[in-house]
Structure 1
Amino acid sequence: MAKQAITLIGGGPVGALLARLLAQRGFAVKTFEKRRNPRRGSSVRGRTINLALAERGLHALRAAGLAEHALQRSVMMRGRMVHPPDGACGLQRYGVDDSEVIWSISRSELNALLVDAAEEAGVRFHFGQALTTADLDAQRITLTDSNRVQREHDATLLIGADGAGSALRAAMNLYQPLGIRVEPLGHGYKELEIPPASGRNRFAIEPHALHIWPRGRYMCIATPNIAGSFNVTLFMPLHGPYPSFDTLRDAATASAFFSKDFPELLPLMLRFADDYDGHPVGTLATLYLDSWHIDKRAVLVGDAAHAMAPFHGQGMNCGFEDAVVLADLLADASRETADAFAEFQSIRKPNADAIAAMTLENYIEMRDSVVDPRYVSKLELGARLAQRVPEYFMPRYRMVTFTLLSYAYAYERGCAQDRLLEQLLQASPNPDDVSLDAAVSALKATLPPLPLLRRDSALMDDAPINADYATDAGHA
């Protein structure tokens, strides 16, 4: 019996992982990617924001048999190393210990790994092939290569994993409006770099952290690379008064700004002028769709369906969850394809909306709240409650990053916990003044216990997670 054919548009990390998962489940997958083969150095200068692998992404990579390979190419990040204006930096851990960390990995390195793995599973890749048109009635697509040569391809079942600027989404929307809404953030980013240091320690700053220089309306972050360099990203408003990208038009004006606002960071960026003048300003927005699919013919996953800003480090992890859920639904022979697509959307859209909201909140937290005494007090009190009654309290960041509890659940539970912390600190902002016994009583009276943490919970629902999960989360 011939394998069911799937045409996948987009060979980035999400597309390549989905292609492998589908091939492992018996589908015949052809993948078309408009960019060059990532194994031949196809990254665009100034567009290399590192990806953050968290538990959700690792879970998906485990399903594909690739988690250990990815971790070998990654650098562990224990938490946020906060660099306030007064220079008194300190680490805010993401989790309880080194079992709860995230991993910084080069997008191009991960993409190359996933393409290799997909090809090993039988996927056929066609690089340098951009989708031009999609005739959903005739079930044919037109592709154009870098020499403007066009070709047609039969496509009875189309999946779009072609990112925020998805060509398949545009074609689907022409055929049947998808209810597209794009909400610009009004902020942009520019990529810079700290090169490897000389000597035995190749890292110029602490390697096992995500570094943040919060400054209110703007910030810099730095993420480590396995070779010793750091990707530095400046986030700030696109327009408006100083400082903005409008007012920092070139390296000369930007250098004066960095000397004043990031004096310890500027000397580490040895190619600052070249990077600042040579790299473009990227824009940030959140994408929402009312519909992710058109009957049984086409469906969108990852950024093509729900692009978000990078401030929670969950865009790829969310897309990887999409890949596992969709592959499993399509592999279920009891479901028609249209039903699988509809169920995929019903499962994933509430979670995509929830992580998009948390991402926008996390931007404010990273650039401002991390040095706010009120935020730090809530962080401390929450950590004490999590240690005292872990079955009732877990910080939202840990739920999102180190469990498989749905994003929607983490959002709702996190909001409820935050309201409780606000109430407990109302009389005094000092967590030492709060009776922990009284806080525990208030917590138990207000909220039900957390779902049990079980590793084998399905990503498709809020089934409890395995008892051993809490002790080995974060390890492949």
Structure 2
Amino acid sequence: MEDRAKVKDKKIAVVGAGLVGSLEACMLAARGYEVHLYEYRGDIRTMEHVPGRSINLAMSIRGRTGLGAVGLEEKVIKEHGIPMKARMIHNLDGTTRAIPYNKDGKCIYSVGRRYVNEVLLTRAEEFPNVHIHFNHKLLTTELEKGVMTFLDTSTNQEVTAKADLVIGCDGAYSNVRKQMMKKPWFNYSQQYIPHAYMELCIPATPDGKFAMPPNYLHIWPRGKFMMIALPNQDKTWTVTLFMPHDIFLSLDTPEALLDFFKIHYPDAIALIGKEKLVKDFFANKSLPMISVKCSPYHVGSTCLILGDAAHAMVPFYGQGMNCGMEDCVVLNEIMNKYDDDLEKVLPAFSEHRNPDAEAIVDLAMYNYVEMRDLVNSRLFLLRKKWDDLLSRLLPGTWVPLYTMVTFSRERYHLCISKKKWQDNVVAKIVKFCSVAGLVAGFLFAKTEAAHTLANSFLHQVNSLATKTLAVVDRS
């Protein structure tokens, strides 16, 4: 095993200075490595507008743990985060109802992606052993040798660099991963869902206040499509419209757009404003959503991928950023375990993290069905109440799936395993109720009329059992 002094002499290149890359650079620098952080864009702290994904993040414990590891959790959460304690469901008739995330009143936080990224970049710069290279687009890399070729877009010149370890944090369309895909025994799959998304905005009120109650994640569930809104620090709301791409294409005139909103989101028209809705909708374009699974996440002891480069997911569980930042925490824990021996650390990370990453990719897709459809189901709400009751009666034993995923660091694949166990318990209880109904019917059925009543009761119990099991199967 290499001694610690020699490990600290190693040079590590982190490709991608987004949230995950910036966090990983900080964590590696804290371990004593020389870190070079490469970013294809310029410094976002100097930009008026930063192109890319949503400006909002729903931060939970996994992301907070990553920030805490570099001393930034309190700064981001206390100074910038807006707590969201429940989903606020907007019905077609304009009424609303809140569905708390859990019985303990825990919340997730709406934070600005750009703000968190800027804070992490500034933190990285505070380490004397971190060197940030903006405007460097990765062209090629020799993975086993750690040799990288970049295009310096500020000078239009190619630049070659070398590192002992290359870590790709360069997103769902990762160039580092593309090089890994050329290697044998590398598994990769991607899936575009038929739905797309577009971001709109609810402005602050004329007196500078929130137009809706701020401590909620607002949802307009409409079956095949939905709309959500997260609060911003300037009292505006980032609104994201999700629906099949062909519906976006069909809304090709202001009249068609307004008619669509009058039917499906009537209360949102006044919140956004007709003119702003039309202007923003036609100034933007709908964007695709992709899921990515791959394995392993490493090549020997010289290359590793983290975040969306390893496991891109649709945004419906709010775990994309949280999972990516937790990657950094998990890697740090494994480096502690193996005393920075990269020949052991990298394969151990791939083996440990892959089942969890694939599990949350699948859960993210399921949660879209829940958010757009199941939240309006009485049986879904009944199951949620049942989960809340059992979690009170059996604290620590019966923990709802969403609570496990969002408010703990339980491994994602174990969250699913525990959910399946819970489903089996619910199924057995429902079946027991069916049998109990049958027995009660025959015990008390002394007349033909009583027999008829008992059979009717049994039919209703069985019907409820079937519907409940259907909800269990869907969840």
Does TM-score exceed 0.5, indicating one fold?
yes
Secondary structure of the corresponding residue to residue 265 of structure 1: helix
Whether 1:204 and 2:207 are equivalent positions in the alignment is no
Q: 2:416 pairs with 402, 411, 415, which one?
A: 411
Q: 1:144 pairs with 151, 154, 171, which one?
A: 151
Rg larger for: 2
Q: 1:286 pairs with 291, 315, 318, which one?
A: 291
Secondary structure of the corresponding residue to residue 180 of structure 1: strand
Whether 1:247 and 2:250 are equivalent positions in the alignment is yes
Whether 1:16 and 2:22 are equivalent positions in the alignment is yes
Change (3 A) 1:46 1:325: closer
The residue identity in structure 1 corresponding to 2:35 is V
Q: Distance in 2 between matches of 1:258 and 1:420?
A: 42
Change (3 A) 1:424 1:108: same
Whether 1:265 and 2:277 are equivalent positions in the alignment is no
Residue equivalent to 2:87: 80
Structure 1 residues without counterparts, runs of 5 or longer: 429-476
- Contact kept, 8 Å, 2:144 with 2:303, in 1: the verdict is no
Secondary structure of the corresponding residue to residue 324 of structure 1: helix
The residue identity in structure 1 corresponding to 2:347 is A
Deviation at 1:253, TM superposition (A): 2.2
Q: Distance in 1 between matches of 2:408 and 2:315?
A: 19
Whether 1:163 and 2:166 are equivalent positions in the alignment is no
- Contact kept, 8 Å, 2:229 with 2:239, in 1: the verdict is yes
Residue equivalent to 1:301: 306
Change (3 A) 1:251 1:109: farther
Q: Distance in 2 between matches of 1:229 and 1:113?
A: 21
- Contact kept, 8 Å, 1:83 with 1:211, in 2: the verdict is yes
Residue equivalent to 2:369: 364
Deviation at 1:258, TM superposition (A): 0.8
Q: Distance in 2 between matches of 1:413 and 1:49?
A: 33
Alpha carbon RMSD of aligned pairs, Å?
Answer: 1.9
- Contact kept, 8 Å, 1:144 with 1:150, in 2: the verdict is yes
Deviation at 1:171, TM superposition (A): 1.8
Residue equivalent to 1:346: 351
Secondary structure of the corresponding residue to residue 223 of structure 2: coil
Residue equivalent to 1:126: 133
Residue deviations 1:83-128 (CA, integer Å, cap 9, x gap): 1223331111112244x10000111011001111111123211112
Whether 1:30 and 2:36 are equivalent positions in the alignment is yes
- Contact kept, 8 Å, 1:46 with 1:192, in 2: the verdict is no
- Contact kept, 8 Å, 2:57 with 2:112, in 1: the verdict is yes
TM-score (ref. length: structure 2)? 0.85
- Contact kept, 8 Å, 2:65 with 2:329, in 1: the verdict is no
Change (3 A) 1:424 1:87: farther
> How many matched pairs?
422
Whether 1:374 and 2:379 are equivalent positions in the alignment is yes
Change (3 A) 1:177 1:191: farther
The residue identity in structure 1 corresponding to 2:120 is L
Secondary structure of the corresponding residue to residue 278 of structure 2: helix
Q: Distance in 2 between matches of 1:315 and 1:141?
A: 27
Residue deviations 1:190-234 (CA, integer Å, cap 9, x gap): 11001111226x100010000000000000000011110111000
Secondary structure of the corresponding residue to residue 305 of structure 1: helix
Residue deviations 1:10-44 (CA, integer Å, cap 9, x gap): 10001111110110111111100112212123654
Whether 1:182 and 2:185 are equivalent positions in the alignment is no
Higher helix residue share: 2
Change (3 A) 1:350 1:380: same
TM-score (ref. length: structure 1)? 0.85
Structure 2 matches for 1:41-80, cutoff 5 A? 41=47, 43-44=49-50, 47-71=53-77, 72-80=79-87
Q: Distance in 2 between matches of 1:423 and 1:30?
A: 56
Whether 1:393 and 2:386 are equivalent positions in the alignment is no
Secondary structure of the corresponding residue to residue 357 of structure 1: helix
Deviation at 1:328, TM superposition (A): 3.5
Secondary structure of the corresponding residue to residue 27 of structure 2: helix
- Contact kept, 8 Å, 2:146 with 2:303, in 1: the verdict is no
